């Protein structure tokens, strides 16, 4: 089976993927994008990491697009992606664990004031503050999918009072320690009673710009936002306004509308913003290659493909 590997990889990252994928699925003939002699007519599957728009066109035998990323909004926006070709996204427990670790770091640092102590150190100030308990902190996790579920469970296990919000009550059962809510109507009642909001929604027309002025105004004064999903969920000017006027205490941001975040952006120097360079949960090459191999085997054998994207829902 001929498989195309296409994407924007850091230096040497593409070679490492090719090496690992070849070892995980040795029955495939692997073709990096742009390789001499690439047999476009024979390519059966494409394994992709944010490929350039148009990269998936003119592949007449394509039977599967497997994303190495969990979020697929850019792929769905690529008109060269044939509508009839199944699209699978990356779902890997190692990635969910990494996301749970990042969320725990963010919420724990908010609870214990560790972000504030970092600023006090920079100002050479010795200033102990009152210590809060985890069970005094309410956290709302937006999204209860592969990432949100792992995050909600980890935070609940740490003693936080955790609720989660998702699209449909009919989705897979929520973890026992997490209060689960569904549907847009209930969100306005949840926001006033949760101090920290952790965003793990997919980027779709329904969720783009959701975290804006109205959302922040519904949160309690002194609340905090942790955005680990996509930059376009947030309305940046509205967030900056809510931070500047003191309504929100802090934002922890891993993802941005423009990445890398431009050097002139206010987030870089804002005293109430802690930022990461989109590293909340990187795809783990070792385990993700196994996920890819499993789906390629399923394609070869005519078995069900795992983690298919529902194109109508957008995730």
For binding to ligand GLV (CB under 6 A), which residues are involved? 69-71, 90, 283
Q: Are strands 64-67 and 43-49 parallel, antiparallel or unpaired?
A: parallel
Q: In angstroms, give the least distance from the CB of 275 to ligand NAP.
A: 12
**Is the CB of 281 or the CB of 288 nearer to ligand NAP?**
281
Minimum distance from residue 27 beta carbon to ligand NAP (Å): 28
Q: What is the DSSP string of 33-101?
A: TT-TT--GGGEEEEEEESPPTTTTSS-TT--EEEESSS--HHHHT-TTS-TTS-EE----HHHHHHHHH
Residues marked as catalytic: 230, 278
Which residues are within 8 A (CB) of 84 and not within 5 positions of it... i.e. 6 or more apart? none
Which range in 57-65, 138-146, 152-160, 190-198 contacts ligand NAP by CB under 6 A? 138-146
Nearest residue (CB) to ligand GLV, 101 versus 116? 101
Q: Taking CB under 6 A as the rule, does residue 168 contact ligand NAP?
A: yes
Q: Which is nearer to ligand NAP, 28 or 49 (CB)?
A: 49
Contact between 166 and ligand NAP per CB under 6 A: yes
Strands 87-88, 64-67: pairing is: parallel
Taking the complex as a whole, how short is the minimal distance between the CB of residue 203 and ligand NAP, in angstroms? 5
Closest CA to 139 of 81, 198, 187, 84: 198
State the nearest-atom distance from the C-beta of 261 to ligand NAP, in Å: 13
Query: Is residue 205 a contact residue for ligand NAP (CB under 6 A)?
Result: no
Closest to 50 (Cα-Cα) out of 86, 19, 85, 77: 77
Rg (CA), the chain: 21
Under the criterion CB under 6 A, does residue 206 sit at the interface with ligand NAP?
A: yes
Shortest spacing between CB 283 and ligand GLV, in angstroms: 6
Letters for 23-62 (x = contact with ligand NAP by CB under 6 A, - = none) are ----------------------------------------
Three-class secondary structure of residue 281 per DSSP: coil
Helix (H) or strand (E) holding 162: strand 161-166
Q: Are 269 and 246 in contact (CB under 8 A)?
A: no
Return the one option of ligand GLV, ligand NAP, none that residue 191 interacts with (CB less than 5 to 8 A, by type): none
Nearer to ligand GLV, 7 or 223 (CB): 7
Tell me the backbone φ, ψ of residue 87, rounded to 5 degrees: -120, 120
The 10 Å CB-count burial string (b at 16+, else e) for 242-252 is: bbeeeebbbbb
Q: Which residues bind ligand NAP (CB under 6 A)?
A: 70-71, 143-148, 165-168, 171, 200-204, 206-207, 228-230, 254-255, 278, 280-281, 315
């Amino acid at each position: 089976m001929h498989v195309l590997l296409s994407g924007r990889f850091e230096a040497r990252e593409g070679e490492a993927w090719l090496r690992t994928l070849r070892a995980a699925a040795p029955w495939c003939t692997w073709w990096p994008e742009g390789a001499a002699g690439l047999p476009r007519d024979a390519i059966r599957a494409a394994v992709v990491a944010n490929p350039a728009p148009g990269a998936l066109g003119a592949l007449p035998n394509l039977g599967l697009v497997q994303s190495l990323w969990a979020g697929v909004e850019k792929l769905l926006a690529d008109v060269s992606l044939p509508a009839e070709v199944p699209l699978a996204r990356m779902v890997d427990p190692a990635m969910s664990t990494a996301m749970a670790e990042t969320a725990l770091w963010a919420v724990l640092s908010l609870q214990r004031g560790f972000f504030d102590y970092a600023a006090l150190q920079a100002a050479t100030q010795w200033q102990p503050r009152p210590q809060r308990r985890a069970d005094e902190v309410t956290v709302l996790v937006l999204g209860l999918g592969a990432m949100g579920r792992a995050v909600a469970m980890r935070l609940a296990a740490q003693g936080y009072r955790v609720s989660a919000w998702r699209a449909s009550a009919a989705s897979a059962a929520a973890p026992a320690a997490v209060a689960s809510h569904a549907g847009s109507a209930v969100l306005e009642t949840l926001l006033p009673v949760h101090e920290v909001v952790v965003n793990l929604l997919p980027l779709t027309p329904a969720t783009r710009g959701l975290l804006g002025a109205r959302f922040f105004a519904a949160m309690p004064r002194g609340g905090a936002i942790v955005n680990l999903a996509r930059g376009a969920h947030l309305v940046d000017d509205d967030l900056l306004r809510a931070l500047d006027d003191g309504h929100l205490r802090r934002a922890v941001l891993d993802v941005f509308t423009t990445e890398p975040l431009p050097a002139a952006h206010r987030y870089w120097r804002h005293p109430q913003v802690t930022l990461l360079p989109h590293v909340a949960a990187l795809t783990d090459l070792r385990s993700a290659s196994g996920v890819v191999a499993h789906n390629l085997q399923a394609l070869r054998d005519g078995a069900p493909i795992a983690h298919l994207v529902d194109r109508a829902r957008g995730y």
